[in-house]
Chains A and B, each alone.
Chain A
């Protein structure tokens, strides 16, 4: 039976990613995963790309996963789950198995935007019935905060360190949610754990759509973002309210903004609590800060225009 999206009802559900995993205190990723699984009212099998979530949730004889779960390598969570889903279809066609199962993959931004992009693109194009969930913390956090194509421009990471000549990452981040939508898949969306009903509605919607779906969830990392351990939700809310991380979905090619901030906050509100942007507040980086704000503004205006035109 479908669970209603009320805290009272959700609190009665079994958590499918249990406590006892070894993710850092205050990490956004397990919060996102728990929300996704709480919104799933079907039997589910998941694959997991190598990364923080994977190395911390299944170690030696212990697993935090109460669902069938498979990790194979870094760049292939989508290909791996596509194999599981294909076996299910084969056995079902042959009458060897019945029922309904949902297939999901979890990967960080390194395993999704970068090294896993080909495998993800292939799985989406082939049309497997699956939901790929990216928890985007904006760098290779598991290996120690290296720059990825999801790292925001200007951020300080260990491979694009803010130095006296180069002020952090020089490039703008990749827009993977739109790249996925450009595969003409039925559903591609962005969500944030700060807006949990929005996130869970998107998961529920995705599960009701046959075919490949993609959900990109911002997942603050206090180690890499150089922020406090208790601010994952506050920061993900600021990401949404500054329109750095707009909440929207693209369903069958139609863009819909699912949450519009009552008051669009300046980008610095999101950046200020994060040590990775500290150097940008120096006087010599004033121009760069204007460029960053300009990028968020123009991306947001563009998204609004796309939503207006449906």
Chain B
């Protein structure tokens, strides 16, 4: 039986982790993730979980300890944001290269300098190429549901890869929303017992983790990692189907919103997708065929499926809440790669919004959709990439 609650995104994720009851959790504070791990620490102190927490002295050590713990053989979690994720960067590659299914909520926040503690996607986009699976979440419910599903995906015996669950800093991590919790037993049953694979603690069969691999074999190891990533999509869909049976909530590789007959569309991640759906509804009410695509699985990226979903539109704006300075936004690059193989493609533009917690307002999305409407009618593209919501 679902339990309806009013909680923050951080609390929702902390409760998902409590219900899973992992063996080890690495804990280090960083805004806006801090109170997720604080809540988890209180579960430990009050005997609500069996977890041993490691109160490390940095995020680098947190991920290092998580790697050691996961290699030892057991379920391992941590959480971070921003500079913390950046400090972990070296170890993120090692977690995935060693094929260790560590689960990590990432509460998205801007990267310094200048210092800013508010939400944007620079941190997780910077970790795009680290070999982690990435699931993105619009709201607290998504973040909770994704966290639970992440265990089944990462720990799948064909996959064995770490998973980041991304949610927007403050907007989702600190805002109270209505959502539904599953029962503890339901979550426990859904994720199942942790299955070990080559644990260090199997003393009878000693293993060596982290060898030196020179040019004779390194290339093959990396190819194998890519091929494993290609299997993730199917697992994500199977896990989502099981999750729907349990919760009634449907998840896919991405969400298509009023996209079937759309002429113009926004592609937008996380919390701003909620605002944008309202804007899309407004345009539909005016008879303009607008739609929206909200990516969920960003790594691996579902190119073919996205191309199919956007292929019949006339103009698309990819909204990025992070930037690759001097290049296009990271989501734009994926969408353009997805659409390129099509014979007939929509016009594609890129708008950068909401950096460092700058509000994304309905008028911003409306202006973009108006521009797309003009382009769809044969209008000229003034600028392919532009910042929006900029103070004059």
Q: Which residues of A contact B (CB under 8 A)?
A: 43, 45, 47, 54-55, 58-60, 63, 65-73, 75-76, 79-91, 93-94, 97, 99, 101, 118-119, 121-123, 125-126
Contacts and interface: CB of A to CB of B under 8 A. Distances in A.
A90 B60 contact: no
A174 to B, nearest CB: 19
B384 interface: no
Contacts of B15: none
Nearest to A47: B68
Contact of B61 (A43, A66, A94, A119): A119
A59 B58 contact: no
4 closest A-B pairs by CB: A83-B68, A122-B57, A83-B65, A71-B210
Contact of B94 (A72, A88, A125): A72
29 contacts: A47-B68, A58-B208, A59-B211, A60-B213, A60-B214, A63-B208, A68-B203, A72-B64, A76-B60, A79-B62, A80-B64, A83-B24, A83-B68, A84-B68, A84-B69, A86-B52, A86-B65, A87-B52, A87-B73, A87-B201, A90-B23, A93-B52, A97-B201, A99-B203, A119-B57, A119-B58, A121-B57, A122-B61, A126-B55
Contacts of B202: 68
B90 A73 contact: yes
Contacts of A67: 206
A71 B67 CA distance: 10
B64 A60 contact: no
A88 B72 contact: yes
B382 interface: no
B78 to A, nearest CB: 10
B91 interface: yes
A69 B205 CA distance: 11
B363 interface: no
A65 B23 CA distance: 27
A222 B51 CA distance: 47
Interface in B35-61: 50-52, 54-58, 60-61
B69 A83 contact: yes
Contact of A118 (B61, B68, B76): B61
Contacts of B52: 86-87, 89-90, 93
B54 A126 contact: yes
B85 interface: no
B74 A87 contact: yes
Contact of B201 (A68, A69, A73): A68
Contacts of A121: 57
A178 to B, nearest CB: 20
B50 A82 contact: no
B26 to A, nearest CB: 8
Contacts of A75: 60
Contact of B56 (A68, A73, A122): A122
A26 B249 CA distance: 65
Nearest to B202: A68
A65 B68 contact: no
Given A73-B94, A83-B24, 16 more contacts: A58-B211, A63-B208, A70-B71, A71-B210, A72-B68, A72-B209, A79-B56, A79-B64, A80-B65, A86-B52, A87-B69, A90-B69, A90-B74, A118-B57, A118-B58, A122-B61
B58 A70 contact: no
B4 interface: no
Contacts of B55: 126
A31 to B, nearest CB: 21
Interface string B134-160: 000000000000000000000000000
Contact of A86 (B54, B90, B203): B54
Contact of B217 (A60, A65, A88, A89): A60
Given A73-B94, A79-B56, A65 B206 contact: yes
B208 A65 contact: yes
Contact of A68 (B66, B74, B76, B207): B207
Given A60-B216, A63-B208, A70-B209, A88 B201 contact: yes
B212 interface: yes
Nearest to A54: B212
B83 to A, nearest CB: 15
A281 B56 CA distance: 47
A81 B50 CA distance: 20
B203 A43 contact: yes
Interface string B250-280: 0000000000000000000000000000000
A79 B61 contact: yes
Contacts of A89: 52
A79 B61 CA distance: 5
Contacts of B347: none
Nearest to A94: B50
A58 B210 contact: yes
Contacts of A55: 212
Nearest to B207: A68
B206 A73 contact: no
A99 B52 CA distance: 18
Contacts of A76: 60-61, 64, 91
For B65, B70, B71, the residue with the greatest tally of chain A CB atoms inside 10 Å of its CB is B65
B93 to A, nearest CB: 9
Contacts of A69: 206-209
A117 to B, nearest CB: 11
Contacts of A58: 208, 210-212
For B24, B58, B203, B211, the residue with the greatest tally of chain A CB atoms inside 10 Å of its CB is B211
B191 interface: no
B352 to A, nearest CB: 34
